[in-house]
Structure 1
Amino acid sequence: MNVRKKVVLAILSSVIVTALAACGTQNKEAKNEGDTKSVEEKVIGVAPGPYGDMVTDVISPLLEEKNSGYTLTTKVFNDYVQPNKALDKGQIDGNLFQHTAYLEQFATDNDLNLTALQIVPTLGMGIYSKKIDSLEDLKDGDIISIPNDASNLARALLLLEVNQLITLKEDVNVAKATVDDIAENPKKLEFKTLEAAQLVRSQDTVTTALVPGNFSWAAKLDPADALALEDLAEDYKNVFVVTTDAADSDFAQAVKEVLESQEFKDAIAESSFKDFSKPEFWSE
């Protein structure tokens, strides 16, 4: 009987130890599963320029560092039209290529429900030329290429006015100004309106070109070589955009948290975007 008891006790001890080990393993696995958050890939529409790099080099890594559960990839569009339409159709999850003024005008004109989450550092429009070294070198009748979309056209005209090349009508809505709103044009400059993507190339056939930051960056134009640079108003700084229905989603809130974080400011300060115009709320 003693031998039998010893055998039984040995078997029971083995079973108990195995059960405890299994339980410990299950708890460890459960703990590890709880610590590891599944990562969902989101696609962000961008235009040629710095903002695709800003998404992949700064925003996405910060989302991952915060264990938000999201990582970002980019889809490049070669115009200012498709990124918003693709977002509205659910083909992408967000976009970063446009400023507030353009977003509001485009959404109204196309009946789209899109929402800006937050402003990001932005490279302004510049006046570039392959033919002259200073705006003082402009001659009567010289041709200047400018963007043909409403909000960027207005920006271009304001930039020309600031540099005393034209004067706009006193009663004009500067956010909607067109060439028809030019009151004075002392040098009788001619204006050639083009899609933004064509402005850099147009330097070969015009005297100067007014190029939005996206496209000047993509073409590796050095802002230091610009004949003049835009002092960006807040409405003309770029925004990270999602559909209005998704504005309160976990993903949108995670992005907004990153864009408003000190970590984002610090990362920008150490990046190639450090000299971009900063959002006003950064200094508040």
Structure 2
Amino acid sequence: MKRNTKWFLSIGVVVILLVLVFSIGIGASRSSNHANGNLKTIRVGVAPGPYGDMAKNIIGPLLKRHGYQVRITEFNDYIQPNKALNSGEINANLFQHRVYLQTFSQQNHLKLTAMGTVPTLGMGIYSNRIKSLNALHDGATVSLANDPSNLARSLQLLAANHLITLKNNINAATASISDIAANPHRLVFKTLDAAQLPQSRSNVDLALIPGNFAWNAKIRPSSALALEKLQESYKNVFVVKTDQKNSAFAKAVRQVLNSNDFRQRIADSQFKDFAKPNSWR
């Protein structure tokens, strides 16, 4: 009787162990399937510059924890990422600051909403001809972005470095060349598409280049003759269509951008010296 009891107990233990192993295997399989097969693909539009890498290598892995697989779609200008988002070709974009988003959306009757701010590389004044702004000669040529918000931003950077003076009582966010009150160096301005500004350095004395295009052209920020001090409204934002701002994906984005994991990954990355969102202080 004792021998039979021991035999039955042994069989019971083996059966329990087999059940546990089988259950763990099924759980692992389900977990693996969730990680690899049940992710919802999200397409994020970017322009040339560092933000495609930021979306792919930092934001993407964090969103994967929420069930989303990020795919990057790169555009060559500042216009198509917003139009593609509005048409549904992509689900989100990361390339623009709030001022540009507001200006472009109003002008093109788009309903787009920022989910949060990311670390951002500011605009710089670059030159292949001079080593210091003190060496700038009268009549020098200056290339600027031709889109309204970056043009205004360029003029503010020139004014901050005492190269021009802007008129009083103007909206600095929408300033244009006609709003220049004084141009003591008689600077000659050439407005170009922002993507052409890095190449323009060989044809002008100064080029004011937004950070993402400078980065894409492998122009080191340390080589700038001057860098702007970014206001919060000029830091880049992660954007979705307004009718999706309360979606599960949008909520996941907000959680990621506000997380300590995001901050730590930025601190350990090539983006560590970018201007941080004010909320990080």
Separation in 2, partners of 1:106, 1:278: 24
After superposition, what is the alpha-carbon deviation per residue over 1:23-76, rounded to whole angstroms, capped at 9, x for unaligned? x96897479547853211111000000000001110011122xx2110111111
The residue that corresponds to 1:3 in the other structure is none
Q: Which amino acid aligns with 1:144?
A: V
The residue that corresponds to 1:98 in the other structure is 96
The residue that corresponds to 1:194 in the other structure is 192
Q: For 1:124, what is the secondary structure of its paired residue? A: coil
Separation in 1, partners of 2:251, 2:197: 36
Separation in 1, partners of 2:88, 2:100: 20
Separation in 2, partners of 1:97, 1:30: 40
Q: For 1:199, what is the secondary structure of its paired residue? A: helix
The residue that corresponds to 1:4 in the other structure is none
| 2:219 equivalent to 1:214 | no
| 2:280 equivalent to 1:282 | yes
Aligned ranges 1:106-185 → 2 under 5 Å? 106-185=104-183
Separation in 1, partners of 2:222, 2:27: 56
Q: For 1:231, what is the secondary structure of its paired residue? A: coil
- For the structure 1 residues 134 and 34, does the alpha-carbon distance in structure 2 shift closer, same or farther, using more than 3 Å as the test? closer
Q: Which amino acid aligns with 1:252?
A: A
Separation in 1, partners of 2:128, 2:234: 26
Q: For 1:200, what is the secondary structure of its paired residue? A: helix
Q: TM-score, normalised by structure 2?
A: 0.89
Separation in 2, partners of 1:191, 1:282: 37
Q: Which amino acid aligns with 1:108?
A: Q
Identity, % of aligned pairs? Answer: 53
Separation in 1, partners of 2:245, 2:170: 34
Which of 247, 250, 256 is the aligned partner of 1:249? 247
The residue that corresponds to 1:273 in the other structure is 271
The residue that corresponds to 1:50 in the other structure is 50
Separation in 2, partners of 1:31, 1:277: 41
- For the structure 1 residues 191 and 42, does the alpha-carbon distance in structure 2 shift closer, same or farther, using more than 3 Å as the test? same
| 2:63 equivalent to 1:72 | no
Q: For 1:55, what is the secondary structure of its paired residue? A: helix
Which of 237, 240, 248 is the aligned partner of 1:239? 237
Residue 132 of structure 1, CA deviation: 0.4
Q: For 1:204, what is the secondary structure of its paired residue? A: coil
After superposition, what is the alpha-carbon deviation per residue over 1:177-214, rounded to whole angstroms, capped at 9, x for unaligned? 00000000000001100010000011111001000001
Q: CA RMSD in A?
A: 2.0
Aligned ranges 1:19-58 → 2 under 5 Å? 29=26, 33=30, 37=34, 38-58=38-58
After superposition, what is the alpha-carbon deviation per residue over 1:106-157, rounded to whole angstroms, capped at 9, x for unaligned? 0000000100000000000000000000111111111000011011001000
- For the structure 1 residues 226 and 31, does the alpha-carbon distance in structure 2 shift closer, same or farther, using more than 3 Å as the test? closer
Q: Which amino acid aligns with 1:63?
A: L
Gaps of 5+ in 1: 1-17
Q: Which amino acid aligns with 2:51?
A: Y
Q: Runs of at least 4 residues of structure 1 off by over 2 A?
A: 24-37
The residue that corresponds to 2:5 in the other structure is none
How many residue pairs get aligned? The number is 263
- For the structure 1 residues 244 and 185, does the alpha-carbon distance in structure 2 shift closer, same or farther, using more than 3 Å as the test? same
Residue 94 of structure 1, CA deviation: 0.3
